[in-house]
Structure formats: C-alpha cells, structure tokens
Structure 1
Amino acid sequence: MFTLFKRGRPVATAPGPGALASRIANFPVVSCDVFDTALVRLLARPEDVHLATGARARARGLTTFAAAAFREYRVEAERSARAEVEAEGRDEVTIAEIYGRFLQWGLVGDRGEAEQLAKIELATEHSVCRAAAALRMAVMGRAAGQKLIFVSDSPLPGAWIEELLRKNGYERDFEVFSSADAGLSKHSGRLFPFVLNRIGCTAREVVHLGDNPIADVARAEAHGITAVHIPQRGRPPEADRLAGASTAVRLLHSHRRSLAVQQSRQDSDGRHAEKGAAPERDAIDIARYGTILLLGYTLFVLSEARKRGIDRVYFVARDGYLPWQIAQRLAPRLLPGARLHYLYASRRAVVLPARMNDLAWVAGEIAGSLSGQTLDTAFDVIGTAREQTAAMLRELGMDPSMRLGQGAGQAEVLRLLEGQRAFFTARMAERRAALLAYLRQSGFLEPGPRIVADIGWRGSIQEALQMSGGLRPDEVFGCYVGLWPNALRERLNPGNAAGYLFAFGHPRSAMDVVADGYAVPELFFSAPHGSTIQYEMAGEIAHPNLAVEQEPGASSRRRAFEVIERECLAEIEMLDTILDGAWEDGVDPCSALVDLEQLLTRPTAEQVKAINRVPFISGINAERITALVNPVPLHEWVLWPQRTLRRIGRSPWRGGTARASLPWPIPSMTYRDLEHRARWLFRRLGRSVG
C-alpha cells in the first residue's frame, strides 16, 4: 500500500470510554481539563485560532492589518499582560486584559472594539472546538451523584468555557473553574487547592483527567488528587515553507495537523485497514494535494468576476466541475447574485465544429490525440463506424491499419479529410447546429459579458465559443489555471483572458513547475462523468451526449474521483466554518503551489505509484482510460538514450515519468536535472546531443 502522506504514530494510547468510565467510577468528584482533553480543536495550535480571529476581525472592519499580523499582536499582548499580572502575584491573565493591550497600543479605536475582538475570539473557538468523543461518553455516562467539574488554565472566563462545553454536548450539571477567574493556575499548582476549597471535598475524593503531564498529572498528584493521564498525539510544527503563505493555506495545514483530524484519521485508517480499502486511502491522500489549488483557482474566478462586474460564470465541463461545486458554496458571500452555470463542452464537442473548415488543423488534432490507434479510428470524432471509415480509406488507396501518434499519420488523416470533405463537413455542420442550440438554451448567447472558467492551457474552447456564437473577443472573458505562451493569438490575449498561476507564460517560474506535471492538476480538475462527445437534438432541445469510458478503468476512476471530491469539499467547507466566510481576496499562486510543487517536479516513487493507481482519461474522444505515467524500460535507456530522454520530456507528467523510469540507485531528480546530467554524459561519451 502506497501513501502520499506519512502517517504519524501516537506517542501513547488514550484510554477508550469503557476504560475511562472504570477509572472514574469510584470517585465522588470527577475533574477534567478542558482544551486538548474534553475539547479538541480543529486547528493545531492556539496561535492559529488567533490567525482565524484576525481574518474575521478584518472582514468585519475592526482591524485593517493582515490576519498574520493580528496573530503576532495577539500573542504579544498576552505575553505582555501576563508579565504584568505575574508581577502582581497572579498566575493568569484575563481576555479583557489581553485586548486592553490592543487599545493601549492603538490597534483598536475604543474599548467597545476591544470587547468585540474578544467576542470574535470566542466565536472562533466555537467554530474550531469539538468534543473528545471517548471522554464525553465516559463523563456524561457517569454514575448518579458523581459531581463533574472542569478545571482549565485559560484566559477565557469560566462562563465562556461553560458555553463551549455545552455546545459540544456536555449537557449534565457541571461547574467550571477557570484560571482567569481565580487568578491561579494548574501549572503553578495553586488552582487545585482553590478548587477543593470551593467544592468542599478532600483530595482523595477527586479524580482529575488531563493531557498535560505537568499541570494535569504532577501538580494534581502533588496535592493528593488521583490523576489519569489522557495522552495526545504530538502535533508537528508549522513547516517553514508555510510561513509566508496565505491565511487560508496556513489554516488548512493547521487543520490537518490538529488533534481532532489526527484522531479522526487514525479511526479512518483502522476502518480502511479492516476493509482492505487501500485505493480509497490513496485517493484521500491524493485529494490533499489538490484542495488549495482548487480553492485558490475558484477564489480567483470569483474575484475576476467581481472586479469586472460580470455576474455570469460558465464553468466548463469536466475541468470546471469541482470549481463549480466550490463556487456555489462561496459565491453567496463573495459574489452575491452571481449566476453560476455548468457548461457541457469539450474540445471535441466545441472546438472541432468551430474549426471544421481548417482541415490541416483538424488533421493534426485527430492524429495527435489518437496515439497508438489505427487510421480507421480517425472518424470516431464524428461518430462514423470504423468499418465505414476503413472502406473510405481503401477507396483512397490508404491502409486502415496504419498507426497514429505524436504527429505520425497527420498527412494521412488530412488526405482522408480532403478526400471525404463533403461527408466530413456535412456531419460537422450538424454538430455545429446542435452546439448552437445548446448554447442558446443554456443562456450563453444572451447579450452581455460572461466568464468562461477552464483549466487551460491554450484557451481553445473560449476561442471556439466566440467563433461558433458569432461573439466579439471582448464579450467572453476566460479564467484559467494557466496559459502557455503559445495561447497568445488574436482572439485570446491579456485583454480577455487571465491565468491564475501563470498567464501566457508569465511568471515563468510557476509555468515551469506546472510544465513538469500539467496532467496532475488535470486529475484534480476532473468530474464523475465522461467528457462531452457532441449534442443531440430531441425536438427543440439539445442534450449533451457524454462519453462512455472504458471499463474496468472507468469505475475505478469514478470511485477515486468521488473520494477526491468528497475530501476536497469537506476541507473547504471546514475552512469556511473556521473563517466564518472571512475569505481573503484570493490565495496567491505561490501559496497555491505549496502542496503541489514537489509532487509535480520531484515526486517519490511511492507518490508516482499511488497516483498511477487512479486511472486517467486521455485523447480527444475522452473514452480511453490509461495510467498517468508509463515508465521507460531500462533497455530503452541503454539502446536509445536520447530518444528516451525526449519521450520523458513530452510526457504529461515528466517529473513522475522520470522518477518511475530511473533505475533504483539513481536518486530522485527533476526532469531538468535529469536532462542536464544526461546531456553532459552524452557529450562526455562523444554522442551527439539531439
């Protein structure tokens, strides 16, 4: 079983609800720590709660500085206030004293704004806190007459902590003791005698549950209280590469490192292991590489629509499927009143009819997309049976069994098209008429500007939609993940098209990263249905006819994509909950590539194998199911090294193909590194460099 993310191991095993219930059964008073014990957060660190609070505060106009700056100010405010109260002999600072520093430092205008910030922090805690299921089950099922108390080292007042606990299902009678209210803490040891005095019982009558080996175990036992350690898995710190990333990206990674997610993931791994569900486990891991890119691109589309005053957005199938799903969740807050459409379109269904009179272009498109297939498949694109195409070829004195691919066969396809021009153009004219009927009924041809959202890389569908609908270039604006330099032309230029990661080759650094594996993003920008083949008329209504993908790969691809879709949407919905809709204008491209860059350019062998388990669609007919990476055999390296290098360089994931094709002792390297070293070796060996 191959995985893309290393799964950590628990440093200790937390007791289950049955074991906890037996440990607390004989004590009149059950005492419990709150954070990381009774409640676990959906974020890894308390500082990341401040990051989300800062985003919410800025969205509400309470602050003008970035969420990352708010986090630093909030941490410093607590440190400063704590130093002052400790000098006075108190152990803990209050939330009011912390935000009082914001007022003193001029970060807010008045005391009312400082109080609002404190309330936003509480609302953020409500969004990110979840009950630890095993502990809640144990303490809520305790014996009648047992008293339950919660003892927390926190600047939050006890009433706020009680509100958090009740929201998360701690419903039976209990009492909360907060270090902020008492001015004493568990960590100093002074809060425990205070609590014993307030509840009027002896230390022997109390059992205390907590995760901190010092504050919850050593200090409790020092006062004669029985302590039960609830160990938690270690949470890795934030990676250095995330330090300058967008707020949403940092929060998503914090969420992935959180106790709540780690516990859920451990339970899920156990279930999958029992079922032997390795493919689903791999798909879950793969999805985590795509979430940020999908989110960032969707925010980019909505931002462009808002900036240009366009309220009609057409997400092109299949690449636009997940962005369309995400946009429907985010647009009500970010682009109110937007009309979001899912446009069934494809190169075969839209571009070929639009370019039907350019036979040389059509011939190159067909020959290049039917690699490895025979010449009698050339008219598959217009629904002609291969037997009929073979007969046409024989009439022209041509061999139907000739293999196509990588440009080979273009001249023969062109000869077929020219020899059967009347037949081909008649069939294409029918396709074009049905396409126009579909565009009219979808509202695409209504007057006014519209946005076409597609992955890219050459913008051919946008151009074809302009040509087919008789639209001016400025009436259709394109939003793409990226556009290669050769996308520049009269009908597609910086005036009516923009790329998220790179546009028309700029910035080159982002384009080079994607070029090493452009098919990997295409894996995320997929859909549970086949590609659009053509449009069929049923009376006056045009219906998109979708490709029937080849089995058994089709079922595997759909299942894998359903998992990827589920996981990506779940992460984005969780982020929306954490931020309460306080999204930034977008995720910058560098942040969007933070998870993908290594995967695209220098993947591990395990990553290549895991992604190769997900079947991939290729070809203009979108019916064939293939593996994303086809390794080059070792004997080809020996016999035809330069041809092998060129083959890897043309692959849709050349970083993955390079890794899969290199013999074991050779370390992982990018395709550029491989090409440089191979050419150096060719020169040393006296071989010509092609």
Structure 2
Amino acid sequence: MKRNSLADLVNAVGQIDVISTDVFDTLLLRTSRSERSRIVKGERLFSDLLARHGWHIKADFLADTRFQAQRLAFRELSVRGRAGEVRLVDIISRQLSMLGLPSSLLAERLRIEVQIEKASLVANEPLANILRAHRRAGTRIVAVSDTTLPSEAVSELIQHFHGPDLIDRVYSSADHGLTKRDGDLFPAVAQAENVSPEKMAHIGDDFLADVQAPSAKGIAAYHTPRRPYHRYVRSANGALTEAGRFARRRARAAKATTSSFDNANLFGRYVLGPIVTQFCLLAWLYAVEAEASDKAVLLFCARGGVGIREAFERVLAKLCLPLGMRRENIMISRLVAARAALLTRSDSVVEELDREFRGGVLADVAKALGGRTYELPEIWRRPFSAQQFVTLLFGSSGAEVLADIEKQNALFTRHFRQLVGDADRIILCDTGLYGSTQRLLASGFPEIRVETIQFARSNYKGHSEEHFPKVSGLVVEQNFYSPFNVCSCVLRYWHLVESLFEPAVPSVHLFTENELGQTEANCGDITFGAIDPSVGNHLLSGALAYIEALPANGGAIALQDAEIAWRRLKDAITQPTEAELRCLEVGGRSVDFGRSDVLRVVAPGQNMTFIRKLISVKSQLWREGAIAREFPFLKHALLPMLGSILSLRGLLARQHG
C-alpha cells in the first residue's frame, strides 16, 4: 500500500475528478480541548439556557446523562456488529427524554454543540489552498467525515473557517449510516459523485479510516497525521476535566445531609430507589438504540430479571419513556443454559462446570443436570472433572442421564423459541456479574444473536472473557472495587444487588409439559404481572415506592438523587451501622446450579477464638458486615484497614489492566 504525500497531490492537479477530505484534524484542526471538555462546556451553556426557561439542572448532571447516552449508543453499535453510526440528534433526544425536557430543545442543544466546535477548531489553510487549486482546475471537492454530527452542522463548521466556496458537498457518517473506518462510506460517496475509485483521492489523518480503508477500495490515499503530542495534550485536558468533575461530585456529596435509615423499606426507598431508577434509565438507553436498528426482543432472566422488569416497566411508565421493543420474562438459569451448551460440547460449559462442581463427584453433577438420582457405575463416584464427565455422558453409561438432559433442553428450547418469535436479536437482561448465562446460551444456540445487559460486569475470578464483547455492565464494568468509582462499591457486596431484584421463587431447574402442551417450570408462572417480586422484599418495595413517587418529568430528580444515594450506599456497605446491618443483611444465598446448598452472607462466628474469627472474615460474602457484627469495638480500625487493602488491589488491577 503506497503512502502518498500532499506534495504528490499538488502535482496531481487536473488528474483527479473528485477529492474527498476528512474534516476533523484534517481540514479543521482540533485545539488542545478534549471531547470531554467540549461536552462539559456545552452542558454548562445548556444549563444556563434551561435556567432561563425555568428548568434548573446542574451542568454536571447534564454532562452525566450526555456521557451515558453516548457511551451506551456506541456500546450498542459495537455489540450490533454491523455497519452503522451513532447520531448526535439521537443522543440529545434521549438525554432530553431522560431528564423530562421537551424535544423542542433539540435544535438549541445542537446549536450549542456547533458553537463549542467553532471555539475548539482552527482552519488548516495550507490544505485548503491545495484543495482550492484543484477546484479551480475542475476537480470536485467533497468532505467525508466519521462523526455523530449531521452534514448540515459539518458544512456550517467548514464554511465558518473556510468560506462557502471550498467544499461542494459534505458526507457525514451520521446521515448515511456508513463509516470510513468500516470502508463502506467510500463506495457510497463514489456512487453519489458518479466517479470511479481510480479517479478519486482521499486525504485524512487517521491511518485506518483515511488510508487503509480507502486504499482497499482502490482510492488513492494521502496521509496527513498530526504529531503525537496533540493527542497527549488532549488526553491531559480530558483528565483535568474529569478530575474537576470528580472534585465537584465529592464536594456535593460532602455537603449533602446524611440520614440514617432504621428499616429496610426506608433504605430501599431513599438509597436504592434512585440507584434502581438510574439503572433502568441506562437499560432504556441501550434498548432504544437497539430498537432503532434491529427487530429485537428484551428477555428478562429469571430470577433477578423479574424484579428488574418490574422496576423497568414502572420507570418507563412514570417518566413517559417510549420503547416499542417487545419485552418478556424468560424461565432460565445457568443450569438450564448449561444443558444447551453441553449438548453442543462447548468449551464454555466445561469451564463453567469445573468452576461450579470443583470438589464434587461425577454422579452429583449428573443429578444436577439430569434432574434426578441415577443408578450409575462405580466410575461415576470419582472426583468430578468436566472433561471426564462429558466423555462419560456421551458414552454408554451416561445414556439415561443424557436422555433426560436432552428432554429438558427440548422443553426449554420450545419456551425460548416461542419468546424469540420473529426477532433477529436477543437481549437478555440480568443482574450480573460474569455473564455465565449469556456465555452458555450463546454456545447452545450459536445460530441466534444473544447479548446481555446487566447491572454490573466483572471478571472477578479471572476466567475467560471471550463473551465480554456481548455482555454490557450498564452501571459498572470493572473487576474490583476502585475508590475512584463509587458505583464499584457493589462489588464489595454483590449479593445485595442480586437479592434486591430476586422474587421469592425457586431457581429454574426442571421443565414439564402441561395438559395443554405448554411448557412450565418449577419456578411457577413468572410472566410479567403474574407475581409481585416485592412481596417479602422490603428493599425492593422501598425502591418501587421511590419510582412511583417521581413526577412525570422526574428523570433529572432521580439522577441527582442517585449521586447522593451512591455515596450513602458505599458508606452503608463499607462502614455499616447496626441499623444498616439489619437492613442489608440478606440472609442465606442459594449455591444454585441444581443444588440445594445455602451460603450465609455473614456466617455466625460463635464459639470461635478471636484469631479464628478474624481469619474467617476473608471467606465471608460481606466482609464489612462480618467485621461490624463480630468486632463492634474494633471495627473502627479494621474497616478502614480492609478498605485500604481493597482500594490498593483495585488500583493495582487498574494499572495492570
């Protein structure tokens, strides 16, 4: 692949019919201001505009919603795995909807965006002069940009710096739904300009989008990279912007009044309520972007998805958020998905079974997956190994177990395909963390596009991340707690999130067929509206009460409440009071995967010596809760010590990640 220089382009006057030029950092050069800085500045101006109209929303909250809407739009585009582009008009429209602001403000916000861009760019006059020479010789000059901005906005920026006589037409990826980086925009431009690739040239700074992609289409490419220090300066500017936002967030949290909640319902309402609402808003952002490009269905996984669905539907109704995508509750568990993956002999199920049944025997795993006790040869009494289990299962001695697994999988497959219907994209919604259900289900049904959105995504055990591109943690995506991300406090007590959303129904183990030929499961009827997931769950009851109390335009209120709520939750998890211990200790957690074992979140330490109690803290599911309960006088020293250790681990993991 030949790399041409601008000197070669000067000498080619009269030999090219169409020249396409990249816009940002090519025809218009960016200053040291980073994208984050530009967005924050724009939201300050937007906040001022809103205040003049009677809406008082702090610029930082506007920036938060903009960043989230933009992040999830690009995340959805990445998971989609097809050509496309995120459009700024959609990002802003969703931002307005989340905040309960009228759509009529869209044009004003776009105007501010262009205004900020004008203050953050300078003209590349040497390049403009070369293009003008070609234009005088009869060459058509077009601008081609990978950008979220519409063509009209890009054209306005070019004319602001170079006048109206330089560019004949602007091609924006946002308008065409095609990009330079994928290479699809160049043929579209050539067709629109009625020119063959051999009579076209392209200029740009990005090696992939502006050199490799057009060269692959037969277009002569002229590389005009900017010096690396420009990127470093902008990165530093972005870091300073984030540091300022972090400091302001800490200052607001310090000023906020702290309240003590002595019962789970109040804690659920005033702490978990805003957090749950925020999560539901993020799920809506992802779903509405997917809805715009595919015929998708959103499947809420039993059990945790049942509680999520209840909150999600209430948030959509209360805040008047549009979503036409079909939504269903699905009877599924890791055990159910493992059966499907096992029948395809996927490597994913081997790793999953090895992790879940380490220390067990082969016959116990046969019982869990097959659903009953079997009379098996002595070899099945050996210590469990997933590879040996697969070998035995598909051998003669495992025929009875395999037949039951196949029968169970056939019943689930019928249920699954009925829910899928004519959808071409399946989005699971679950609590998290690792995304095992998605990984196993995708292995069992490789012909179906399966992805997952969940509260948090974390590879806290260091296993394979092959499925992570299809799993999105909407609130948290990191492996360990970090002091710089308050939301990561849930990783220190994840069972709280799981128990918050799970109704009092069994995990899905076995399917049957009723007299009407319909598929049923041991969990009972979990279709939306059939059960109330908040029954007996005071934390969820409180969270739902918070949602119901929001006004129709209460998105901004919820997001502002969430900022304070996260600080309160972090304090309650990391330094629990006696009242918070009572509110948040969720009791036993099922080991699941077809087993009846239950783990205590904070196991009692009676009849233990001081040293043994201290050692046992490491194995507790909520270490801070165990310390607060077992060492009421020493907790003021032990809890900060544990916090420092976990913070250091998170920082080291971030450094090496």
- Give TM-score scaled by structure 2 length: 0.50
Tell me the TM-score normalised to structure 1 length: 0.48
